Structure 1
Amino acid sequence: MPEFPPAAHRGVSAAGVPQSGAAIAQAALVVIAVLYFARDLLVPLALAVLLSFVLAPIARALRRIGIPRVPGVLLAVLAAVAVIGMLGLVMGRQLAELASDIPLYQYELSRKLASVNASGGLVERAQEMLRGLAAGAERAAPQPVPSLNADAVRPLPVEVRLPDPKPFELLQNVLQPLLYPLATFGIVVVLVIFVLLYREDLRDRVIRLVGAGDLHRTMAAMDDAAYRLSRFFLAQTAMNAAFGVFITIALFFIGVPQPALWGIVAGLMRFVPFVGTFVAVGFPLLLALAVDPGWSIPLMVLVLFAISEALMGHVLEPMVFGHSTGLSPIAVVAAATFWTWLWGPIGLLVAVPLTVCLVVLGRHVKQFEFLEVALGDRPPLDPPETFYQRALAADADALEEQADDVLREKRLSDYYDEVALPALAMAQADALRGSFAPERLTALRARVAALIEDLEEEVEDDRPPQAAPAELDEAEEASRPADPPPPPEVLVPPGSVICLAGRGPFDEAAAGMLAQLLRKRGMGAVAAPAELLRGGDLVGLEPEAVRQAWFCTIEGGASAAASRYLLRRLRRRFPQAQVCALVVGVTAEGRLPDSLREEGALAVEGRLADVARAALRLAPAVAAEPAA
């Protein structure tokens, strides 16, 4: 299903939606009860809504070619009724033919089972085990007490014969089983016509229920959701119909009887997740076993469904829909179970479409966002939150896996800017509130440092993954950024650039990330803790060798006065260095960058890529200054 933009329309408030958890739970129980006890009313309504989503693009297309609205809607509905009626007639005729041949198929299946039994005795042993279990159950059951005069009284055989039914009774017996399905079908048709004719009025009423306070955003959300759902359901119906036609033709050439019946079943079972595939293949496979004296036709049926299902699920559907149904696998199974329990076989068929509608509702209505979180296939946590959670859980493998996934498409600096540093900002905020025990804070910092060290070895440079030149057009080729110039020789030796951490709990991680990126761009950068300014040794290097000094801090880790004090000490410790500052996570109220600029430092806010470019931009000026 095409992706629904989450941020553009989210935040629309619904009127009359419970706010507290207890109220939501009570409302859910009431809704489930209504869905169960009012299923005779709601099943036709749900079918009508889903069918209107399928027919809405057709009705719009007929209107665009000049057919008036009412005739266009009637024509689209009549075409759908004709198709459904034709499919019903074909299925009925094929079922009648199948029923007449069942004794022959039963004989052939019994013969094959006997041959399998003769080859290994497995079936016979299973039958003997079942007979033994049945005999044991009979012995365990209480035996009836014989009557004293059982020999004196013998029951007389009685045979009950019903009179031959009259013509009206015969007609009633034939039509009565069909009355409920035909009535339901007629109600669905009428409802579809009215939904298509009055869809604007229904949309306005839904807007009133969802939220009329923000009319523009609500209308945009409703139109976008309805348009995308219509396209998705129409495309899915067309794909499943084409799949059914393909299965029909293939089974015809393989030699399976009633191929049209099994093709229709296969197309319908495409709407049923997971279980539908086994149902679709089970009946033709059983029939192939009955009609083929050997095993070639059953094997061809298995190969046919295996290849066709794989192509549909992994090639054609992703190409047409762009992604998937938008549901997580667990949600698909849960939805199928839930709707089947509520509405029976009809619920199994409409489980995925109805659940997709619920997920779309959760993406566009703020109070129903929990539906998207619970049922959707999007990650429940943002990438920074995922990073933070995995670091807290001490899951080093998951951290590296997330880094590998991001680095397949983005640069290392983008990974740090968009994932790691925002996560460290959240961790630092928690640490300043006292949420961490000292040992856990130490372990978390060590875990992040180990990840940075691993990325030093795995990532060779900081260039983004680029397409091959043959895959780029002229505009893309012209818009590609040029490779940065190499740094001057004075900044190449190790220790010529120092990245000093502030006093925040995770400032050392920010300094380590910046030093790593500068090294990957050819600069001899090293990271150092704030304790260096108290007289520590810089890995054996002289302070005069440092030509660029970066003060690295995450907003909120220390006060502005403490940061300015460290910056002054940094300048005194490294008199030959250009003093710069990196401030991560600057908020709207943050004044730290301005405070550091007042101390004469070049303060860069935010992205590490900007810092790396600034470092290279300052490099010629550093090279022009004479060393002490």
Structure 2
Amino acid sequence: METRTPASPAPSPLANQPLGAILTFVLIVAVLYLGRGIFVPLVLAVLLAFALGPVVHGLRRVGTPHIVAVIVSVSAVLALISGVAYLAFSQMLSLASDLPRYQATISEKLRMLQETFGGGRVIDRLVATVERLGAQVEASAETLAEQSPEPIQVVIADDGMGSLETAQTVFFSIIGPLASVLIVTIFLIFLLLEREELRDRFLKLASRGDLRSSTEAMNEASSRVGRYLLAQATISAGYGTLFGAGLFVLGVPNAILWGLLASVFRYIPFVGTLIIATIPILLSVAVDPGWTMLFGVIGLYLVLEVTSNNIVEPRLYGTSTGLTPLAVLVAAMFWATLWGPIGLIVSMPLTVCIVVMARYVPGLGFIETILGSAPVLLPQERFYQRLISGNVEEAIELADREIEKDGIADFYDDIAVPALRLAEADVAGDLADPSHRHRVVETLAEVLDDIAEATPENAEEHAQVRVFGGKTELDQAMALMVAERVRARGFSAQVMAPVALRKEGIAQMDLSETEVACLCYLGERPDVYARYAARRLKRIKPDIVIVAGYFHPDYKAVKDEGTTEEIDLIAHSIALAAHAVALALGEEDSAVSGRPEAIPQLRLAARAVSAQAAADPDIARSLRRLARSANTTVAMVTVVPLTDSGDDEPRMSHAEYLAHEVLERSGTLIIEDLQHSPYAHLRTVVESGVRAYAGVPVPLEDGQLGAVLAIFDQEPRLYDDAQVGLLENAVAPVAAEIRDLFVRREAEQQEAIA
């Protein structure tokens, strides 16, 4: 099952001070609104610095001085923006000059609609308006034509505004935008020049002595915003290009203008492209006498939207933003209200930074809970919530989704059992009454009826197996799952309520055809109750096999060597309990390591083989040669049990855990940086100091053990094809040496026995 770490916000210190929280929020909003003249250019400069950072870094890597790299990058951006603005302005002028030519086509289209739909107020008014405007234009043209061709006397009148006043008006109309561009440019240049210095100062100011958390927050925010800006720029440029090209092919006037505007407006979440697509749609009505162009533009827009939103964006964005769609919409409305159209464009990156900051700043965790996309409840917690509420439909839907992904056995052990443990904890802490427990069990029973695999006919008649709920209804729910897994193996099984284990219940029970009894306990001290119940069952039928299921998390450490003469096998999961029952019924054990008591011993044996392989001169020589050829820190052979799931991570080394991942994939696993990978949450991986990893499976003839040949590095790196090729080529000789080691080891054991 995939390991997921949901957002776990710390309680807010403002939670008990609602008035203080409201006043603080109002003050922050007021400062952002009143200071928008400063904040907007600064935010734009910061976002451009994020976007240009990789460009400046790339220029510096090829030997360009820092100042030159910054100037070249900023100049290129200014030139690009200026060129786009000039092109858009010229296209707008062209469009304005062509608009009067479309009046006749529009009037004809409206008359067609009037005839088709029988008129109506709206259509009648539109027709009248267009005809009136057309008449005015024609009247003006006729008046000019009828006028005398005599020269017109031009008189310069002084209206009170001299040339100086006119110049001032023009100057002040353009000084605002130019000043904003200049301020953003200056901010951008200084941010790029002083990037490292500003980062250090910010860390000193924000860390409060905790440099690790502050650095992680800054790196995460920078990574998320950088990925988002890169993905958004790529998608927007591609979208605008395809949109403009499509309009050009369809014959829509000024297609370049609409493509440019589509690229810009796509930064506005949800509605940006819809706004800009409306204009060419209306324009197509005015240009084309028919309807082909209109339907073509609408089809082009729909195809681009569906493709970009459902195919391109999920691949490029991934989890780069970490925001829910609702959070994106609320953020867009909030920043647009404060800062206008610019707020729409910067809403996503700003909100990403706020959510990342909330993750690392104590007291602000509620922000990530509200806006973040990380699940706030673990799968077992969500399932438990559905059971509490009695929501059978949603519980079944969640179960089906998990079963489709991981299988029904993993669903039982990873989702259903932990959910019942939560219910048991609530009952033990007096947080739930018996009716609550009964509702949980009833809902779970309905879920199990829906998801259970095919049950053999007459499964409970003359049952070979009796599965007992130990003490409570929750124990009986555990018994339902164990019985389902036993039936899935082809054996008949009957679920017995906890009352059946009482003295009077056992006395009335017919166990003549029952071969195995499985006792299920979810609560504390299960071994005490299990021994007592097993003793009673053995008195009635001495040869019955007793399997005890201890499902409380604190009793995973109970060893099977501690079994008494009453209890034959102990299991700590649904899958292993069903497996133990099958073994007791004579099913051939295809993998000895699948027995509950065999996994720890087999893991010790695997570690012994790993140690012997590392000490073997031939294998050690091959590993040193591989590490030297691949130019890496170390090469290693790791042997692990094939049926050991790898979920018991605290008891495994990082090499063992990663070896399980390689064997599950049955192929090469390459990780550029373990600290920024799906395995970064694992304690052994973090403590090992290993950053880069590449591993390939080593084929062994042993049916219980698997081996992996891997190379490690203490610095992040991506192993190239040549290095991976060296690793794969080394598999065959290393496998032969390990097999020789097995032969020598077996011979030594036989000699010791003799």
Q: TM-score, normalising length from structure 1?
A: 0.79
1:29 aligns with 2:32: no
TM superposition shift of 1:617: 5.2
Partners of 2:182 and 2:189 in 1: CA distance = 11
Q: How does 1:76-225 map to 2 (within 5 A)?
A: 76-106=73-103, 108-124=105-121, 163=159, 165-225=161-221
Alignment CA distance shift 1:105-1:379 (3 Å) = farther
TM superposition shift of 1:58: 2.0
TM superposition shift of 1:309: 0.9
> 1:68 is matched by which residue type in structure 2?
P
Q: How does 1:338-357 map to 2 (within 5 A)?
A: 338-357=334-353
Asked if 1 retains the 8 angstrom alpha-carbon contact of 2:224 and 2:352, the reply is no
Q: How does 1:44-443 map to 2 (within 5 A)?
A: 44-106=41-103, 108-124=105-121, 163=159, 165-322=161-318, 325-365=321-361, 367-443=363-439
TM superposition shift of 1:571: 4.1
TM superposition shift of 1:111: 4.2
Higher relative contact order (CA closer than 8 Å, sequence separation 6+): 1
1:607 aligns with 2:568: no
More divergent stretch after superposition (525-534 vs 102-111): 102-111
1:376-412, Cα deviation, whole Å (9 max, x unpaired):
3343322122112212222111111111111111111
Q: How does 1:447-596 map to 2 (within 5 A)?
A: 447-457=443-453, 495-534=463-502, 542-556=510-524, 561-587=528-554, 593=558
1:48-81, Cα deviation, whole Å (9 max, x unpaired):
2222222222222223333233322332222222
Structure 1 counterpart of 2:37: 40
> 1:267 is matched by which residue type in structure 2?
S
Asked if 1 retains the 8 angstrom alpha-carbon contact of 2:563 and 2:569, the reply is no
Partners of 1:377 and 1:60 in 2: CA distance = 31
> 1:609 is matched by which residue type in structure 2?
A
Partners of 2:455 and 2:345 in 1: CA distance = 48
TM superposition shift of 1:297: 0.9
TM superposition shift of 1:20: 4.7
Partners of 1:621 and 1:296 in 2: CA distance = 71
Alignment CA distance shift 1:458-1:496 (3 Å) = closer
1:522-558, Cα deviation, whole Å (9 max, x unpaired):
33333222221236779x98424333332211134x6
Asked if 2 retains the 8 angstrom alpha-carbon contact of 1:499 and 1:549, the reply is yes
Partners of 1:197 and 1:338 in 2: CA distance = 32
Partners of 2:198 and 2:540 in 1: CA distance = 72
Partners of 1:79 and 1:438 in 2: CA distance = 71
Alignment CA distance shift 1:513-1:36 (3 Å) = same
Structure 2 counterpart of 1:142: none
Partners of 1:12 and 1:210 in 2: CA distance = 19
Alignment CA distance shift 1:400-1:608 (3 Å) = same
Structure 1 counterpart of 2:750: none
TM superposition shift of 1:512: 1.1
* Structure 2 residues not aligned, in runs of 5+: 129-156, 590-754
Counterpart of 1:115 in 2: which secondary structure?
A: helix
Asked if 1 retains the 8 angstrom alpha-carbon contact of 2:358 and 2:367, the reply is yes
> 1:82 is matched by which residue type in structure 2?
A
> 2:467 is matched by which residue type in structure 1?
C
Asked if 2 retains the 8 angstrom alpha-carbon contact of 1:387 and 1:399, the reply is yes
Asked if 2 retains the 8 angstrom alpha-carbon contact of 1:428 and 1:505, the reply is no
Asked if 2 retains the 8 angstrom alpha-carbon contact of 1:44 and 1:184, the reply is yes
Asked if 2 retains the 8 angstrom alpha-carbon contact of 1:336 and 1:351, the reply is yes
Alignment CA distance shift 1:64-1:458 (3 Å) = farther
TM superposition shift of 1:239: 1.6
> 1:50 is matched by which residue type in structure 2?
L
Alignment CA distance shift 1:352-1:217 (3 Å) = closer
Partners of 1:221 and 1:11 in 2: CA distance = 16
> 1:298 is matched by which residue type in structure 2?
L
> 1:608 is matched by which residue type in structure 2?
I
More divergent stretch after superposition (420-429 vs 451-460): 451-460
Partners of 2:179 and 2:539 in 1: CA distance = 90
Q: TM-score, normalising length from structure 2?
A: 0.66
Partners of 1:233 and 1:241 in 2: CA distance = 12
* Structure 1 residues not aligned, in runs of 5+: 132-160, 461-490, 624-628
Alignment CA distance shift 1:603-1:67 (3 Å) = farther
TM superposition shift of 1:610: 3.6
More divergent stretch after superposition (325-334 vs 501-510): 325-334
Alignment CA distance shift 1:577-1:188 (3 Å) = farther
Partners of 2:21 and 2:196 in 1: CA distance = 29
TM superposition shift of 1:107: 5.3
Counterpart of 2:495 in 1: which secondary structure?
A: strand
Counterpart of 2:430 in 1: which secondary structure?
A: coil
Partners of 1:533 and 1:622 in 2: CA distance = 30
More divergent stretch after superposition (540-549 vs 450-459): 540-549
> 1:49 is matched by which residue type in structure 2?
V
Asked if 2 retains the 8 angstrom alpha-carbon contact of 1:546 and 1:576, the reply is no
TM superposition shift of 1:281: 1.0
1:335-378, Cα deviation, whole Å (9 max, x unpaired):
22111111111112222232233333344545333222212334
Partners of 1:584 and 1:361 in 2: CA distance = 39
> 1:377 is matched by which residue type in structure 2?
S
Structure 2 counterpart of 1:481: none
Partners of 1:181 and 1:324 in 2: CA distance = 32
Alignment CA distance shift 1:522-1:366 (3 Å) = farther
TM superposition shift of 1:251: 1.2
Counterpart of 1:400 in 2: which secondary structure?
A: helix
Partners of 1:325 and 1:614 in 2: CA distance = 47
Partners of 2:534 and 2:181 in 1: CA distance = 78
Asked if 2 retains the 8 angstrom alpha-carbon contact of 1:113 and 1:123, the reply is no
1:93-118, Cα deviation, whole Å (9 max, x unpaired):
11122222233345543443343234
Partners of 1:409 and 1:591 in 2: CA distance = 26
1:441-491, Cα deviation, whole Å (9 max, x unpaired):
32332111111122224799xxxxxxxxxxxxxxxxxxxxxxxxxxxxxx9
The alignment covers a number of residue pairs equal to 555
Note the aligned Cα RMSD (angstroms). Answer: 3.6
Alignment CA distance shift 1:116-1:546 (3 Å) = same
Counterpart of 1:227 in 2: which secondary structure?
A: helix
Counterpart of 2:231 in 1: which secondary structure?
A: helix
Partners of 2:161 and 2:3 in 1: CA distance = 60
Alignment CA distance shift 1:222-1:400 (3 Å) = same
Alignment CA distance shift 1:33-1:17 (3 Å) = farther
